[in-house]
Amino acid sequence: MTVYGYARVSTAGQSLNEQKDTLKTAGADIIMSEKYSGTTTTRPQFEKLVHLVEPHDTLIVTKLDRFARNTREALNLIDSLLKEKIIIKVLNLGTIDNTPMGRMIVRTLLSVAEMERDMIIERTQAGKVFAKQHNPNYKEGRPKRKKDSHNTAIFEYSQTHTVRGTAEAFNISARTVQYIKKMFN
């Protein structure tokens, strides 16, 4: 019987370290992790994990919303894992068991999580509308990068180093290095 852990964060800028440490402390032997939004249907590490777990193995996540994009998907996944006799532990909730009460608790909590996510989206959209109406300088998206001294240093360093080496040296993503190189060329 193996204890698996699964950690996920939504953006590349977020760290998985806290979740991984928590999963190790909770007894996970093998931890799979990835950086994918909960709205993304493709989560390769999670799909690999679902195929690895066997009856009587344990799957640990830190929070219920790490499982899926929405309530329906999470319930289907949890039901299928429980039918396969996989033990599911959600660290901020407890062990999910295959009983009517256990399934009801999961449904309720997933519905609340989905409602919170929808409310965040609504508030964000309302904020954008308000900003567009009240701020003549409002521009959606990230501000454009400038050819400042920091970006110039990154570009110059990248001329004699690999993209990956430059990214590590400046603690930025390889994609950002490529963007800066393109900006100067």
Going residue by residue through the chain (185 aa), what tens digit of pLDDT does each one get?
899 999 988 777 788 899 999 999 999 999 999 887 656 567 888 889 989 999 999 999 998 778 776 777 778 888 889 889 999 998 988 888 888 888 788 788 778 878 888 898 999 999 999 999 999 988 888 777 788 888 999 999 999 999 999 999 999 999 999 999 998 88
Maximum distance among all alpha carbons in the chain? Answer: 63
- Position 78 scores a pLDDT of 86
pLDDT score recorded for residue 98? 81
Position 141 scores a pLDDT of 81
Q: What is the pLDDT of residue 38?
A: 58
Q: Which residue has 């319930």 as its token pair?
A: 75
Q: What is the pLDDT of residue 69?
A: 66
Handedness of CA 157, 163, 165, 171 (dihedral sign): positive
Q: Which pLDDT score, from 0 to 100, does residue 59 have?
A: 94
> In the chain, count of helices (H) and strands (E)?
7, 5
Name the active-site residue from 10, 37, 80, 173. Answer: 10
The residues, any chain, with a CB within 8 Å of residue 88's CB and separated by 6 or more, are 58, 59, 61, 78, 81, 82, 95, 96
Tokens coding 155: 């570009």
Our answer to whether residue 10 is catalytic in this structure is yes
Q: Provide Rg for the chain, Cα atoms.
A: 21
**130-166 as b/e: b if 16+ CB within 10 A:** eeeeeeeeeeeeeeeeeeeeebeebbeebeeeeeeeb
User: CA-CA distance, 29 to 6, in Å (whole number)?
Assistant: 11
- Number of neighbours of residue 94 by Cβ within 10 angstroms: 11
